[in-house]
Amino acid sequence: MLSSPRDVLGKVLLDIADEDPNLVVLTADLGRSCRIDAFANRFPDRFFDVGIAEQNLMGIAAGFALYGFIPVACTFAVFTGRAFDQIRQSIAYSNLPVKIVGTHSGLSNAKDGATHQALFDLALFLNLPHFTILNPRDADDARTLLPQTFNRPGPAYFRLSREELPRLGTPPPTLGKGQILRTGKDVTIAATGAMVWRSLAAADQLERYGIAAEVLSYSTLKPFDEELLWESAQKTQGVITVEDHGILGGFGSQIAFSLGRHGLPAPHMMGTWETLGDTGSLEDLYRLNGLSVEHIVRKVESLLNRQRQPGQKH
Partner 1 sequence: MEKVVTSLLENQCRQVRKDILQMMKVSGPTHLGGSFSSVEILVALFHLIDYAPHNFHARDRDHFILSKGHAAPAFYSLLAGKGFFRREDLLRFRSTGSPLKGHPDRLTTPGIEIATGSLGQGLSVGVGLALAGKKEGKSFKTYVLLGDGELDEGQVWEGMAAAAHYGLQHLIAIVDVNGLQLDGPTDRIMNLGPLPEKLRAFGWQVYQVDGHDLEKLVTVFTAAARDPFPAPKAILAYTVKGKGVSFLEGRVESHSLALDGDDFSRALAELGGVK
The residues of the shown chain that bind partner 1, judged by CB under 8 A, are 24, 45-46, 48, 50-51, 53, 55-56, 58-69, 71, 85-86, 88-90, 93-96
- Closest separation between CB of residue 56 and partner 1, Å? 4
- The residue among 40 and 58 lying less far from partner 1, judged by its C-beta, is 58
Q: Lay out the sheet containing 187-192: strands in order across.
A: 179-182, 213-218, 187-192, 239-246, 268-272
| Minimum CB–partner distance for residue 165 and partner 1 (Å) | 34
- Give me the phi and psi of 76, to 5 degrees please: -75, 145
Determine the 3-state secondary structure of 170 from DSSP.
Answer: coil
Q: Which is nearer to partner 1, 26 or 195 (CB)?
A: 26
Nearer Cβ to partner 1, position 98 or 196? 98
- CB of 54 within 8 A of CB of 75? yes
Q: Which amino acid is at 17?
A: A
CB of 125 to partner 1, least distance (A): 18
Q: Which is nearer to partner 1, 62 or 175 (CB)?
A: 62
Give burial (CB, 10 Å; 0-12/13-18/19+) of 21.
exposed
Nearest C-alpha neighbor of 61 from the set 28, 109, 30: 28
Is the preceding peptide bond at 223 cis, omega within 30 degrees of 0? yes
Q: What is the Cα–Cα distance from 48 to 39, expressed in whole angstroms?
A: 11
Of 52 and 276, CB closest to partner 1: 52
Q: How far is the CB of 65 from partner 1 (least distance, A)?
A: 8
Nearest-angstrom CA–CA distance, 59 and 47: 16
Please name every residue paired with 246 in a beta bridge, in sequence order, or none if there are none.
272
Largest CA distance in the chain: 70
Q: Which of residues 47 and 224 has its CB atom nearest to partner 1 in the complex? A: 47
How many angstroms separate the CA atoms of 179 and 91, rounded? 30
Nearest distance in Å: CB 85, partner 1: 5
Find the shortest distance in angstroms from Cβ 48 to partner 1. 7
Q: How far is the CB of 44 from partner 1 (least distance, A)?
A: 11
Query: 3-state class of 187 per DSSP?
Result: strand
Q: Which is nearer to partner 1, 76 or 218 (CB)?
A: 76
